[in-house]
Amino acid sequence: MRCKDIFDRIEQWAPREIAWERDNAGLQVGSADREVKKLLLTLDLTEPALNKAVEQNCSLILTHHPLLFNPLRKIDTFTDSKSRLIEKLIKNDITLYSAHTNLDYTKDGVSFELASRLQLNNVKFLVPLYGRQSKIVVFAPENICEKIAQTVFDNGGGIIGEYSGCSYTSSGKGTFKGSDKSNPSTGIKGKSETVDEARLEVVADNWKINKIIEEIKKIHPYEEPAYDIYPLNNKNGNFGIGAVGELSSPIPAGDIIEHISLKLGVKNIRYSAGKDGPVKKVAVCGGSGAEYLNDAVSNGADIFITADIKYHSFQEAEGKIFLADAGHYETEIFALDAVERYLKESFSNIGIIKFTENVNPVKFYNK
């Protein structure tokens, strides 16, 4: 197996096209063509994590946070620790790859995994992504439409939320007149034709469209298949930011922070108190999600759990919604389990090492 097989599989789940536009998810260092039998998962690439990968003969490291984020002007291995990591990766033939905001914004990614640790039900995205989808409309003889629809589904089209194989077909009349140079599969060139046709409509993510059209052309009987691509402004049910769901039974306001602490195994939680009543609806956003506080409020959440929260955000939330900062590392670390499960389902013979030692740069001093 090659690194790129693993990248492709991850990107089927967490496409890079959905990542934050300023993100740098994807290959960081090394070759995508490198053979891989064993890989290491870590939230961040640190020196101990890299040492572990070397010691365990891992040829691939998958991180959540990209090592390379700001433009790199030089690789200075004397003064810069990031440069030394790059040098060590290359010297040890290790490829480095990151699934960052694409893993945040996909279903069963970072925030969904956090929601699952809190045993939330009816989990949905807190803030849906808009757009990035188009409607493909194909005109074809009715008897081939099912096959065309299947081709679109096989190439990742026709997914709306929890439903796959979504399409719509209507019947009508198509007209055309081929030129002298045409070679129509139906009718005669130079003569106006009217034929029974169907109009097939399917949604698809924008980055899948070129491949879908290419595959449709292979099976469409017409010399010049007629199709349209309409950009959509719909809410994209397949991707979003954060997650919101419900606890199976309400928890008294006075017990909710302890409940979170136990479920997440987090000792230190900074928080501001919300309303006095019981807590039922919970919004989460793994990592830095304070900017989605108003979305948590408008979703009717009783508590919003995220990280990197500022003083004034706590002040803004007080009395309205519980706002809890459970730590950046602590709200994201479970995502490694989600990646591990996903890769193990796809590649039964791959060795996966999860590195969770010494990665959190934030320490707590307790007197």
The least CB distance from residue 18 to Zn ion, in Å, is 16
Q: How far is the CB of 234 from Zn ion (least distance, A)?
A: 28
Residue with tokens 């039964």: 348
Backbone angles phi, psi at 224, to 5 degrees: -125, 85
CB 356, min distance to Zn ion, A: 15
Among residues 44 and 201, whose Cβ is nearest to Zn ion? 44
Quote the tokens at residue 262.
């136990």
Query: In angstroms, what is the minimal distance from the CB of 129 to Zn ion?
Result: 18
Rounded Cα distance between 340 and 345, Å, is 9
CA distance 132 to 137: 17
* Residue 114 or 118 having the CB closest to Zn ion: 114
Nearer to Zn ion, 109 or 287 (CB): 287
Q: Return the number of the residue (287 or 327) whose C-beta is nearest Zn ion.
A: 287
Q: Name the residue nearer to Zn ion (CB basis): 99 or 256.
A: 99
Torsional sign, CA 119, 162, 130, 207? positive
Nearer to Zn ion, 66 or 287 (CB): 287
The least distance separating Zn ion from the CB of residue 286, rounded to whole angstroms, comes to 7
Please tell me the distance from the alpha carbon of residue 237 to that of residue 131, in angstroms, as a whole number: 10
Least distance (Å) between residue 108 CB and Zn ion? 17
Residue number with CB closer to Zn ion (26 or 287)? 287
Q: How far is the CB of 260 from Zn ion (least distance, A)?
A: 19
Closest separation in Å from C-beta 117 to Zn ion: 16
- Which residue is closest to Zn ion by CB? 287
Tell me the C-alpha to C-alpha distance, in Å, between residue 317 and each of 47, 303, 323: 38, 10, 6
User: Which C-beta is closer to Zn ion: that of 69 or that of 342?
Assistant: 69
Burial label, 316 (beta-carbon count in 10 A; 0-12, 13-18, 19+): middle
CB of 287 to Zn ion, least distance (A): 3
CA-based angle 224:229:232, to the nearest 5? 170
> Tokens at residue 188, please?
């005669």
> Got the DSSP string for 120-171?
-EEEEEEEEEE--EEEEEEEE-HHHHHHHHHHHHHTT-S-BTTB-S--EEEE
- CB nearer Zn ion, residue 125 or residue 176: 125
**Single-letter residue type at 260:** I
Question: What residues make contact with Zn ion under the rule CB under 5 A?
Answer: 287
Least Å from the CB of residue 332 to Zn ion: 5
Q: Would you give the DSSP letter of residue 17?
A: G
Helix residue ranges, H only, the chain: 3-13, 47-55, 81-91, 101-104, 110-117, 142-154, 209-219, 256-264, 293-298, 311-317, 328-332, 335-346
Nearer to Zn ion (CB atom), residue 66 or residue 178: 66
Q: Which residues of 140-165 are buried (b: 16+ CB within 10 A; e: fewer)?
A: bbeebbeebbebbbebbbbbeeeeee
